[in-house]
Structure 1
Amino acid sequence: MPERILGGRYKVQGKIGIGGMATVYRGTDEVLGRTVAIKTMLPQYAADPSFAARFKQEAQAAAALQSPYIVGIFDWGKDGDTYYIVMEYLRGTDLKSGIRTHGALDSRKVAQIGSQICQALSVAHKHDIIHRDIKPQNIMVQPDGTIKVMDFGIARAKNSHLTADNSVLGTAHYVSPEQTQGKPLGPTSDIYSLGIVMYEASCGKVPFDGDDAISVALKQVNEQPVPPSQVNPNVDPQLETIIMKCLMKDPQARFQTADELRRALTDYLAGRVVSVSNNATTMIPAGPTSRMNRTGGTQQMNRVSNPSGATRVAAKVDSDDEDDEPSGGGTGKKVGIVVGVIAAIVLIGAIVYFALGNQNATQSVPNYISMTQDSAVAAIEQTDFFQVGSVTQEYSDTAEEGTVIDQDPQSGTLQERGTKINLTVSKGKKPAQEVTVPPLDNMTPDQAQEALSKLGLVAKAGDSVFSDSVDSGLVVSQSPAAGTTAKEGDTVTYSLSKGKDSKSVPDVRGYSESSATSTLQNAGFAVSVGNSVYSDSVDEGCVISYTPNGEQPAGTTISLTISKGPKPAPQQPTTPTTPSQGGNSSGNSDNQGGDTGNEGGNSDNQGGDTGNEGEGGSDSNNP
């Protein structure tokens, strides 16, 4: 199964654990690049069409349950003959392992765990989903102390009552009396199971135990649990009252909703007095021959048949029995009680006999998972019925080295004498392999995540930086660098480009050309003079306008337009001079007065004209 791709996207990796219904693997969602847990159904269940249909229905229903105390269901499907559920990958340990390791827990811790489980059950019950398999193995305790309830996806696809092959062995310790009898179940059935969980967490042991599922289930129906404080004197009396109410045989006598139980636990944790209407004194006494309850009332033992063919003993307590009895009928009633008790004992013995009568031919395989290899081997040899088979080793991310993580045949199955039990033992966590860090340059975040995930590396986005060469949103740098060596599980941090560093162009209108140039250069821009034009409003040599403006990448060239000052007025054209006597003198005289600039020239011309005035007469220049 490892390295197989399910549904075209879920890569199956190391095995995490195995139960009576499924095997759980660590995996990777290769589309989203995240670690997931993948639960695959065992072949003997996947081959059953009715199971497959209910599995699909319940997986879809479980996916709708949203709660911080419920393991999230991401997907489900079928690949070939394999049915699988993809769910949230959790770090931590299951409550069963915690109890085995640490023993009984503090009363406040038990109440805190119970309160969180109640919140998970409340969400499920409001969706009309009964878990049916609340047990410590299905409760994950995370490193921060938060719990998550598992297996909502297949809970209702499991057998809810005893079957011929004892398939509920391992869960019979936690099932409600009505569940063992095949009766309709409601929220109070889960509350009973939660009561067993809190009892075990408080005492370090379950209230009812036996050699097989049948004997344990009969005790669930017929026997009264020993009060937790008699097993562990440190159990708080108020918490004990809450637990005992959960364990009432009559579903109507228990807490009726998970919210009601949670309020009682919350009151206890807050130091408020817990007022529990607990009819614990009316429960069936542990010894079938006892006829008096704690209040002195008599008990009438009745034989009640149930659909599964078993027989249970129901208790009716009435402290005023004799007042209701017709006069003179007391002796007859007492005889009836005795007969009823004897009949019940005989019938229970018959059930146990027929259930276990063939024990010499076949026996139910015990559960060796979570035991050390030496302990499991010793336990198999001590049965004098089974034999130790092969012992193989596999890496495990969750089980300590030397711990049994799988067995074949599975626990709860009936096997013949001499059957070999094959064990799979944890080698501890798989050593991280060395890989070469790939180059991430110019990749999108999704591409970088995918490239690293394929090598078992963890991607982490660092700070974004400006880059003149890499487009915005793409990887511009990474650490460790491409080509270096890293180990699986190491983190590679990458930085994304924010594009070129952009700045606001200073407004230099009205600045002199030199001032504008230095201002723009100091701001990180280049400068060029585009052209110079006349301006009536901007002094000569100053900036009229610049382009581009606004936010621009650093280094952008800013073009300046410089003023040449006001535009000069156009010149008037001059009148040509005609050399003629008299008129020219007169004209020159006028020109002299009207045109200062030509005044000297006109004077010279006037003199010349005067010299010409006597031409033809007496001319001193002509001999």
Structure 2
Amino acid sequence: METPTPDPHFGTTLDGRYVLGERIRSGASGSVYLAHDRAEGRTVTVTVLHPWLLTDHAAVHAFQNRAQDLSEISHPDMARILDHGRDGDRVYCVTEYVPGETLAEALGGGGLRYAPHIALGMAASLLSVLDTVHRAGLVHGDLGADQVVADGSGGARLTGFPLLFDAEEDAGPEPRSDVYAVGALLYTLMTGESAATGEGRSLRPSSVDPDLPPDLDMLVAGATDPNPRYRPRDAGQYLTLVEQVLRSLPRPPGEPGADDTRPIPVVAAAPAATAALPPAARERRPRRRRVPVLLTAGAVAAILFAVGWALVPEPEVTLPDVVGTTTDEAEARLDGLGIQLIVHYGDVYSDTVGPGEIAGTEPEVGSVLREGDEVVLSLSLGPRFTEVPDVVGGTEHEARTSLRESGFTMIEVVQEHSPDELPGTVLSTVPAAGEEGDRDAAVTVHVSEGVIVPTLLGMTEEEAATALEDLGLGASAVEEHHDTVPQGEVSTQTPEPGSILPEEGTVTFTVSAGPEPEEEEEEPSDEPEEPSEPEASDEDGGHGGDRGDGRGDGRGDGRDEGDESSCAAPWDPGTVYDRGDRVSYEGRVYESLWWIHDFSPGDSSAWGPWVDRGPC
């Protein structure tokens, strides 16, 4: 029988602080270990760079830089980077340990699924983390079900940020890669099937469960489009779409789970974490956390009574004043009383004590305590009433973020028609900006309504036009040759799937005319060439006019009747352009998709208000 080779890092202490235990996984970044932090008395995970990469200075530098960048990001649903450094020939990074069941473990071998509103809630938690990460110029890059831990209340915590990426890749991951990963995870959560079965095409949950609402198909298909260009550009944009669908989604009777839905996994204390550590790391827990103390005290009392010590009085102490102190200071004072106490924590609003500090105790300060008594320390949440931030004019997601940072957790969104504002723009709040809001009550955010653009790729022209008509959107079709898309199917669309347009907005899509026909070579002729006729001007029905999109010169595209050139009037930053207006910019013609002012065509992406109509 072959004896396994012992792990060389097991039991090692890094920088005199982190005692490495069992290796739990390996990847491109290195090996990941459960570990004990002696300074803080807690379980952490430590990633140790592979030994063969130590001589690769670029890899070491990239590892340390990535750890430093991630350590500057904080989000309640993200496993934080706590520390990083180098101890001799070991380069390491310390990460917060998140106990509980991962989604990969919860789903098991497949077939289990979550109700749509629970799956969307988890996706929203992940996208909120990724939005913070993307805003910092970073990405996750390796998100999957085994990096997500369910929090037991419908949310999720994100772990497993790689510290190195595959050097053989032509380009590293970018935000749209994370968007794809969340879309694929949504598909798995709602169908119970692996997203790998749909590689090479957009995933649609209705292909597995036809009863799922079409909005879910739109969300998943848009995020998992094989072409990254057609996905939401980042987590923030995808989060806005997920939240819109989540609000409109009917909830099944008897929630949180329907008959075909696995219950929400409950985060456990993960007792195996301590067992996986070396003996030196298994330190004794503080006395106040040893819940069986009542049983121990009872047993000791019985023994003392049996030997005639029953008349010895129990020691009594007075509860000290710990209001205004930190939790560490309060626990230190309680430990100094010389008796064993059971300490619990609660939350309370306070106008005088700062958030996170002790705002009160139960029993009250000065009360008499005996061995085994329970003490509740109430942590301050800050004032209950606080000023509502000004979020008018921003996006719905920006409003949610700002309100949450101000302490408002109950946020209700109401969509309203607005002829003046783009869809998704915050119109007002109740209470209004600057007014005192109750953090225990809801803040209502009024948002300009709009229509989510569906995915048209692969549809016929008739199917695409019908899909847009059903949503109240206009359709403009053009035809172009395409080498790979079958003739008659939609090859591209503007704006991209998942964009939000005003009511009666227009979507332009391109229908494939098949591959370009091969040009036949002309046989040389002995006859002299006839001089060619000059091309007709616009007035003679030549290149002027509508450029084949059915608009004509009467659409206000910025051209003069007598203009013989094929280019529109130059773009003017001071001019207000309406839908359908055309301008020329750097030798190309651009058409406005909606009302626009002071927005350069050169700054417009496929999601922007200008669409490129070709060269002049």
Per the shorter chain, which TM-score range?
Answer: 0.3 to 0.5
TM-score relative to the length of structure 1: 0.40
Structure of greater Rg: 1
TM-score relative to the length of structure 2: 0.41
